[in-house]
Structure 1
Amino acid sequence: MTTVLVVDDQYLIRAGLVGLLHAAPGIDVVGEAGSGEEAVALAAEAAPEVILMDIRMPGMNGIEATERILARAADPVPRILILTTFDLDEYVYGALRAGASGFLLKDSGPERLLAAVTVVAGGDALFAPSVTRRLVEAYARRTACEQPPDLRALTSREREVLRLIAGGLSNLEIADRLYISEATVKTHLNRTMTKLNLDSRAQAVVAAYESGLVAPGR
């Protein structure tokens, strides 16, 4: 049973999400919040596996709430799925840097939503490669980074895996491209994240752009 916390400041949207999730087998809604502040408190209390997080809310927005929840969470850390109205929302980039596990457009169908919950609950990231690339490229130049990630600690293979991840390839696609096993790809990614002090695949994508390993528009 996957436990889920729903966060959205609009009651009708929140109620619709809760109703859909309640009706789905294998999902247990353990709480709903109408603000970022409430989300932080409920996340600590209910310890959900997945949090559906609205990004635009008055007061504490979804980015700040994501940062606070992940900073305070004990293992296992919840997987946060950002809900947004626009696929080129500048706030989404901030959410990726904060450690969100993916994002989903609010106009996605019920099947897509339920599948997304299953994907992130299983430990994977949910990013459509084309949309992720547009987001990062659109805002990488605008986001100041005082100390770009230093990739000198990475091996050549780790750098190559990171570059392909930033290009939107899945672990399986990377394995096929480099003629290595999927398990080996995961090992390279885990070592890269440890060396760069990253918490998620999303942050790895951002680090690749901010370090200059991948250039926007290429």
Structure 2
Amino acid sequence: MNEILKAAVVQQQAVGPEELALINKQSLRELAADEVFTFRLAACDDQVDRDHERFTLAALEGLAPLFVGRPVLMDHKWSAGTQTARIYAAGVEEADSVHRLVLRCYMPRTEQTASTITAIESGILRECSVGCAVERALCSICGADQVQACCQHWPGREYDGRLCVMELDGAKDAYEVSLLPVPAQPGAGIVKSKRYGGQESPEDAGDDEVFQLAAARQEQENMRYGGTEL
């Protein structure tokens, strides 16, 4: 699965008549307000994140309808037993000049879900990540699409005073949302450096090394952003 994972935050969501109507579009029978627990996920936004990536507003708006009906899992485990909730509505909201994709989710109130609901309400379970795919990853310096071919610019580095970031554009698919009882450790950032071929500067490497770094980076970017479809 070619998937981009981004952090998100769980927030409270009230159940009104309009919300309940949207929920019942996902259920097989009419549910009453006291039968469901709802919450919001403040998902990806249009700001530069720690991966030196940012979603365009168009990408966020395109992802919103794709997430409706998608499952909310536990720990990214794909099985019937880990499907904890479902997304019933999504949209882009603006606050302080930041555009953020907000996902509204519901789960039934049962004995099996009681502990999860308690963990969310008490703030114990509040970290999560969203999985999606985009069509393009555009370099902010030269505009090259990293899905097609990598350029010579590296995310996080400055070129003539301009920070290089990858702009994620073109909503391709939405996969799932996963609640994370144990947040990712800082050491996971090591994977990011390997993704771009290690920490060695291409300016300090020989021609053969530059070619190998570029090839490795292209392979990793194809895996991350989806690559070209055959």
Q: Establish whether TM, by shorter chain, passes 0.5.
A: no
**Structure-2-length-normalised TM-score:** 0.26
Structure number with bigger Rg: 2
Higher normalized contact order (CA 8 Å, seq sep 6+, divided by chain length): 2
TM (norm. structure 1) is 0.27
**Higher-helix-fraction structure:** 1
By percentage of residues, which structure has more strand? Answer: 2
